Structure 1
Amino acid sequence: MSTPYSLLDLAIVREDFDAKDAYKRSLQIAKHAEELGYTRMWLAEHHNMANVGSSSPQILIGYLANGTSKIRLGSGGIMLPNHSPLIIAEQFGTLATLYPNRIDLGLGRAPGTDQTTARALRRGRMESVEEFPNDLDELKAYFSEENQDSKVRAFPAEGLNIPIYLLGSSMSSAVLASQKGLPYAFASHFAPAYLIQASRYYRENFQPSENQQSPHFISCVNVIAADTDEEAHYLATSFYQTALGIIRGKSYPMKKPVKSMEGIWTEQEAAAIQNMMACTFIGTKESLKPQFESFFQQVEVDELMVSTNIYEPEKRLRSLEITAEVLGRN
């Protein structure tokens, strides 16, 4: 098994700790992932969530890039409707100038928050889903050398070759990614329903573009790995408790693992989480291999992006090590 592997992080705040601790842990795992051969590490934009520290991925990308030397860093993603395309071009142009050939720009069309907060972010500029392709084209234009004759130019972004990725969890994002000839990252770690359908459509209908000649499909999955299966399932209870907050519409800090989830979630909540987190792999190096092999038989992926939510920092680092060993570069 040899599949390029990457990492998604949300800088989740742990119970009894603060956001500063979350940022330090993000840098710690970025350094560790770099040593282990992870291709890239992305941070996701979220707002009005007390225990999700990645409200400003642009700033965190610079922080992580300054503390590493070769791993690619980027957004998974920037929620473009929340921002002016010009501002995003300027910000990522600055990052790419400071850290050449290391910056990715992943874009999503969802707000990354509730509608009330979205209105506060956008100051009344409530763009519809239909306007996202136009914003995408505008952003791409700012990066192009052809924009030099425009009255509005993005410095220092103009002329920089910053890879743009489209993010999504639906067929509409698969259609747009294939039409625009963009690499496509699917959020199967929390919305797996259309994974197989979207991946097939994207590959079959991909239209080559100037910067992307062939399809590149990334699937994001949850991985909790440990030296014993018992320990892996024990560590996974922190992840389950975080997921429970999503089901209940609350932002829980990452809680310490527990021996049993009984009494913490209801049967209905457990079933909902198991369905939502269907693309979750828990176990040892030996038990994870057949799980991944079965997954790859169902879905053709060019890169696997892992989300690993474990309370104890050292256990999280160990999980990343085991994942790297299973996926084949070490």
Structure 2
Amino acid sequence: MTVPLSILDLAHIGEGETVRESFDRSVALAQRAEQLGYRRVWYAEHHNMGTIASSATAVLIAHVAANTERIRLGAGGVMLPNHAPLTIAEQFGTLETLHPGRIDLGLGRAPGSDQQTMRAMRRDPASAESFPQDVQELQGYLGEESLIPGVNATPGRGTHVPLYILGSSLFGARLAAALGLPYAFASHFAPGALQDAVTIYRREFRPSAQLSEPYVIAGVNIVVADTTEEAELQLLAARRARVSLLLGRGRTFTDEEADMILEAPAGQQIRQMTHYSAVGTPAEAREYLDKFAVHAQADELIVASANDRNSWLRSYELLAEVSDMGVPA
């Protein structure tokens, strides 16, 4: 690979799997990723989703960090409007104090949930409007000087946990550029504005104390297997699973029903979500990712496995074999 590779772990709870087993798999993935030379593993904040176990993002990061040694770990991301900036500063200041030099804090402004869950979290629907101010308040708590007189984060102050702005629109690109922060684009599920957003970010970037030059991380799906046919079958299985997850309302569709939906207008969004996907043998996946990195103007790629839980680790291992990450498997 011509750019570093990282991993987005959604802490998926597989069929017949317990939450604890999901956490054990996340630890095993991070340990293997550390051995293979991946740069970082990120976990995303989601709520009220029965198949995703990363809702308490900081707690999961702490658990994985305690069971690894070197690899960077972080939020990809924390949905800041769900929280008080001081609370997040304390959480990630604690993580950085316990695991110095290994913690990242990616920030998004989406709810990470549905409308009813937002109400259950006591979130104000208008809270996303203050996202830029909340980012700066959080930045102050993690730096040397709080923007709120007399209020400091302990732990947190002086830890300078690196911040990343996450987004899938032009808003996040402009904010990251204005604040001089790295920008991570969610092209692994929202590909539409990728090129426009990255172009704007690079054009409008203003250097900051954290970052002197623009830095782009682009998300991309991977399904890597020993044969092209096997990888394509795994991608189809992943798309079928998303049909039930996103459209089933508690019902699991048969393969035939899911295929019909994927071919219909209702399935167009699900097909579009996997628009950027490296699917095939290790060599085919590497060729795709090299081209995608150029297409996305990316300094780093964060890959999300679309495989089921029985084959996802193998997918990361196969990709690492052809990615020249400098760490023996």
Instruction: Give the TM-score category using the shorter length.
Output: over 0.9
Secondary structure in structure 1 of the residue aligned to 2:223? strand
The alpha carbon displacement at 1:252 in A equals 8.2
Deviations 1:207-229 (A, max 9, x none): 00011101110001110101111
The alpha carbon displacement at 1:61 in A equals 0.0
Tell me which residue corresponds to 2:130.
131
2:239 matched to 1:240? yes
Query: Pairwise CA RMSD of aligned residues?
Result: 2.1
2:298 matched to 1:298? no
The alpha carbon displacement at 1:246 in A equals 5.2
Tell me which residue corresponds to 1:310.
307
Q: TM-score, normalised by structure 2?
A: 0.92
Secondary structure in structure 2 of the residue aligned to 1:145? coil
Tell me which residue corresponds to 1:263.
257
State the alpha-carbon separation in 2 of the partners of residues 291 and 149 from structure 1. 47
Task: Mark the CA change 1:124 to 1:91 in structure 2 (over 3 Å): closer, same or farther.
Answer: closer
Please, which moves more after superposition, 165-174 or 227-236? 227-236
Secondary structure in structure 2 of the residue aligned to 1:147? coil
CA contact (8 A) 2:222 2:285 kept: no
Unaligned runs of 5+ residues in structure 2 are: none
The alpha carbon displacement at 1:35 in A equals 0.5
The alpha carbon displacement at 1:270 in A equals 4.4
State the alpha-carbon separation in 1 of the partners of residues 186 and 166 from structure 2. 7
Matches of residues 123-162 of structure 1 in structure 2 within 5 Å?
123=122, 125-147=124-146, 150-162=149-161
The alpha carbon displacement at 1:20 in A equals 1.1
The alpha carbon displacement at 1:198 in A equals 0.5
> Aligned to 2:272, which of 272, 275, 287?
275
State the alpha-carbon separation in 2 of the partners of residues 65 and 204 from structure 1. 36
Give the AA of the match of 1:279. Answer: Y
The alpha carbon displacement at 1:148 in A equals 9.8
State the alpha-carbon separation in 1 of the partners of residues 190 and 147 from structure 2. 40
The alpha carbon displacement at 1:325 in A equals 3.0
The alpha carbon displacement at 1:237 in A equals 3.2
2:20 matched to 1:20? yes
Give the AA of the match of 2:247. Answer: R
Give the AA of the match of 2:258. Answer: I
Unaligned runs of 5+ residues in structure 1 are: none
State the alpha-carbon separation in 2 of the partners of residues 298 and 124 from structure 1. 37
Deviations 1:97-119 (A, max 9, x none): 10000000000000000112112
Task: Mark the CA change 1:287 to 1:83 in structure 2 (over 3 Å): closer, same or farther.
Answer: same
The alpha carbon displacement at 1:96 in A equals 0.5
CA contact (8 A) 2:4 2:38 kept: yes
State the alpha-carbon separation in 1 of the partners of residues 322 and 231 from structure 2. 15
Tell me which residue corresponds to 2:325.
329
Task: Mark the CA change 1:244 to 1:272 in structure 2 (over 3 Å): closer, same or farther.
Answer: same
State the alpha-carbon separation in 1 of the partners of residues 107 and 161 from structure 2. 12
CA contact (8 A) 1:242 1:252 kept: no
